[in-house]
Amino acid sequence: MPDSQLPHHHWRIAHSEASLGWGGQEHRILAEMQGFRRRGSEVWLIAPEQSQLYQRADQTGVPVVAQPFNQRILLPFHALNLAWWLRRNRIQIVNPHSSRDGWLLTIAARIARVPLIIRSRHFDVPIPNRSLSRLMYKEWSHHIITTSPKITETLTTTFDLDPAEISTISTGVDLERFKPEGPRASLPLPALPPGTPLIGMITVLRFAKGTQVLAEATRILRDEYKLRIYCVIVGEGPHRQRLENTLATLGVEDQFTLTGHREDVPDIMRSLDIIAIPSFHEAIPQSGLQALATGIPVVASDVGGIPSIIQHGKTGRLVPMQNAPALAAAIHETLTERETTQTLCAAGRRMIESQHSLEVMLDRVDAIYRQHLLG
């Protein structure tokens, strides 16, 4: 019987997250918590009160526990306090998602003898102090969940993990929200010539997201291909001022709109001709999964976990990292070879439906719970 047809088990789950911001990692945690609540489980979030995830979880009805994670000197006190809370609420599963909350919640869970400790890892970045981190990933956790095969490979090699101890589960896409049919967003664009291609990035504005590479590709398309595109960057972040300076330096500021944060992502995607993901490192980008689900062509860097969803010549087009001429050529090809592009988009949607939906993600996490707690 497929997992989705099994009767849903009533679990008692506590997630934790130290991050104050709002990005793909936090989005996934909230979606997973809401999904298991819909399936009848009781779910809590342990997070700093000022974090965006705490506030969004609270607004959507997920019970929240305020916990600072930046007070190392008080770690023993906080660990004992959290252990008491875990015991009192009969928590069966704890799942920390970042380093700072990981240490505190894992220590508390071991004191409280929580039956299942799961450690999630969302990014493929270097692991500091491997001997100390080995306690977290190898000795003190019962199972590890990563978001991409690349992260799984790194952790398996670094800590000599048995394949049974680690699972790759990409973030599931809500197929009811992200689908080709539906409304299109009203975007704050200048008057553009009819048929101007719209290229979008939906991202946190950080240097490693590669927005400046898209800016260089835009200039190349204008000067060498004689093709004038217009770019829409959706999101906020610390790189905004630097990006605006880069656009001015390259002389393409009149071909970019920075919208800031928006919640109507499915509608925005349906308004675009291409989603660009020119990142320098990435696990599995949610904007890539969402674009495939919405039927929008994707051009992305061949780095990290991206090739596991944007399969070159099958579901999208890949280019070398930090290579603006290659990105420009791939955008041009996507716009001019329309029949091939439509074939890639159709294959991408089918892949999301079969492997990367929200329900598939919940089923796979639930299977890990069952394996460890029900035998």
Q: What is the pLDDT of residues 213-263, one digit of tens each?
A: 999 999 999 999 999 999 999 999 899 999 999 999 999 999 999 999 999
Confidence of residue 129 (pLDDT cuts 50, 70, 90): confident
Is the pLDDT score of 4 beyond 70?
no
Q: What is the pLDDT of residues 23-79, one digit of tens each?
A: 889 999 999 999 999 999 999 999 999 999 999 999 999 999 999 988 778 888 899
DSSP state of 236: -
Which of residues 69 and 316 earns the better pLDDT score? 316
Average pLDDT over residues 118-127: 87
Residue 350 and residue 348: Cα distance in Å, rounded?
A: 5
Q: Spell out the domains of the chain, with CATH numbers in brackets.
A: 3-172+357-373 (3.40.50.2000), 198-354 (3.40.50.2000)
Average predicted confidence (pLDDT) for the chain: 94
Query: Do residues 171 and 289 touch, judged by C-beta distance below 8 A?
Result: yes
Task: Give the pLDDT score at 91.
Answer: 98
Task: Give burial (CB, 10 Å; 0-12/13-18/19+) of 88.
Answer: exposed
Residue 160 and residue 133: Cα distance in Å, rounded?
A: 13
Question: In the sheet where 198-202 sits, what is the strand order?
Answer: 256-260, 230-234, 198-202, 274-277, 298-301, 317-319
Average pLDDT over residues 134-152: 92
Task: Give the pLDDT score at 150.
Answer: 86
Task: Give the pLDDT score at 2.
Answer: 44
Query: Do residues 274 and 331 touch, judged by C-beta distance below 8 A?
Result: yes
Is the pLDDT score of 7 beyond 80?
no
Task: Give the pLDDT score at 21.
Answer: 87
Q: What is the pLDDT of residues 320-348, one digit of tens each?
A: 999 999 999 999 999 999 999 999 999 99
Block residue for tokens 């770019």: 231
Is the pLDDT score of 175 beyond 70?
yes
**Closest C-alpha to 53, from 82, 4, 89, 15:** 15
Confidence of residue 19 (pLDDT cuts 50, 70, 90): very high
CA-based angle 66:67:71, to the nearest 5? Answer: 150
Task: Give the pLDDT score at 1.
Answer: 40
